[in-house]
Amino acid sequence: MTTSHPVCLLGAGPGDPELLTLKALKRLQGAEVILSDDLVDARVLALANPAARVLRVGKRGGCVSTEQRFIHELMIREARAGHRVVRLKGGDPFVFGRGGEEMDALQAAGIAVEVVNGISAGLAAPASIGVPVTDRRCTPGVALVTGHNGEGGVAPDWAALAQSRLTLVIYMGLARAEAIVQALVDGGLPAHTPAAAIASAHTPRQRQQLCRLAELPAMLLREQLASPAILVVGEVVGLSAAWQGLQAELGLQRSA
Ligand code: SAH
């Protein structure tokens, strides 16, 4: 019987390959089979062992999403065949990456799991525009939440978040931005709270826009920011140089 290597659930970070950890790079270079999500940047895959078999098992890009169960079976089969398997995910595997479900399936099959963290988009995107998400002058902390409405999971309690004083970092929030903003304002978050949307952070396609919370849905429509994007809501957005620049610009427009 072949002894299987642990399957590595590996975070690829948000895009820029320089944001990979050294451990992630090592595991990519040693991989024999890589099951990769579509969100993973091609520049990261280019660093992997050239002899590795790369299987795209993504959920985006217009193709039919690969069933989660099929991904589990594939990982188990490849690991049992004695291959060094890397399950490569954008950002961090345990932050909205289904890493937990995959860990469970592997462990239930008697296969050990190694988790290699990646820099999650929800931390990397705000940092890329100078937003310090837990700045103690404004907030007691940060909440990483999904903008999805809870299909197959638990939906965020927007009213409670509106009262929490936490910085809100919203993943997968573009499609439901209008409803989310409405729920936050209804929950008592001031409509003038600074907000930002950052699309394709740390890729050559990165775009960002800052505005007041109430203006967010209209801004997204006008600027046509595309997925993947992170929304950030909180006073900390106001600390960024980008926000200061925006305010200066608005002041100039007003006085002109
Ligand atoms: N595990 C990933 C998140 C996967 S969920 C992580 O830790 O980053 C997919 C969502 O992540 C997208 O809808 C978007 O909200 C966010 N996302 C991923 N990569 C991004 C990027 N480069 N820029 C902005 N948002 C990104």
Write out the residue limits of the CATH 3.30.950.10 domain(s) in the chain: 121-255
Q: Which of ligand 1's atoms lies nearest the C-alpha of 122? A: 8
Mutate to test the pocket of ligand 1, among 9, 20, 96, 123 (most ligand atoms within 8 A of CB): 96
Which segment of 79-93, 104-118, 146-160, 189-203 scores lowest on mean pLDDT?
146-160
> Does the pLDDT at position 39 exceed 60?
yes
Q: Could you please state the CATH topology (level 3) that the domain comprising 7-116 is classified under.
A: Cobalt-precorrin-4 Transmethylase; domain 1 (3.40.1010)
- How do residues 11-27 score in pLDDT, each as one tens digit? 999 999 999 999 999 99
CB 99 less than 6 A from any atom of ligand 1: no
Q: What backbone phi and psi angles, to 5 degrees, belong to 187? A: -80, -5
The reported pLDDT for the residue numbered 66 is 67
The reported pLDDT for the residue numbered 211 is 97
The reported pLDDT for the residue numbered 2 is 56
Residues 80 and 5: their CA atoms lie apart, in Å, by: 8
Which segment of 92-96, 198-202, 245-249 scores lowest on mean pLDDT?
245-249
Nearest to 14 by CA among 210, 199, 225: 199
The reported pLDDT for the residue numbered 247 is 84
Contact between 27 and 11 under an 8 Å Cβ cutoff? The reply is no
Token representation of residue 42: 């091609």
**pLDDT, the chain, mean:** 93
Report how far ligand 1's centroid is from the alpha carbon of 230 (Å).
7
User: Which helix (DSSP H) or strand (DSSP E) does residue 242 occupy?
Assistant: helix 241-255
- How do residues 86-118 score in pLDDT, each as one tens digit? 999 999 999 999 999 999 999 999 999 999 999
Contact between 179 and 155 under an 8 Å Cβ cutoff? The reply is no
Mean pLDDT of the 250-255 span: 78
| 112 Cβ contact list (under 8 Å, min separation 6) | 4, 6, 7, 106
Token representation of residue 119: 């820099």
Positions marked active-site: 37, 59, 172
CB 202 less than 6 A from any atom of ligand 1: yes
Report how far ligand 1's centroid is from the alpha carbon of 96 (Å).
8
> In terms of DSSP bridges, do strands 85-89 and 142-146 run parallel, antiparallel, or are they unpaired?
unpaired
Q: Which of ligand 1's atoms lies nearest the C-alpha of 121? A: 8
Residue nearest to atom 25 of ligand 1 (CA): 229
> Does the pLDDT at position 56 exceed 70?
yes
Percent of the chain topping pLDDT 70: 95
Write out the residue limits of the CATH 3.40.1010.10 domain(s) in the chain: 7-116
| Per-position DSSP letters for 162-214, written without gaps between them | HHS--EEEEES-STTHHHHHHHHHHTT--TT-EEEEEESTTSTT-EEEEEEGG
Residues 128 and 147: their CA atoms lie apart, in Å, by: 21
The CATH code for residues 121-255 is 3.30.950.10
Per the confidence metrics, is the pTM higher than 0.85?
yes
Mutate to test the pocket of ligand 1, among 21, 39, 233 (most ligand atoms within 8 A of CB): 39
Residue nearest to atom 9 of ligand 1 (CA): 172
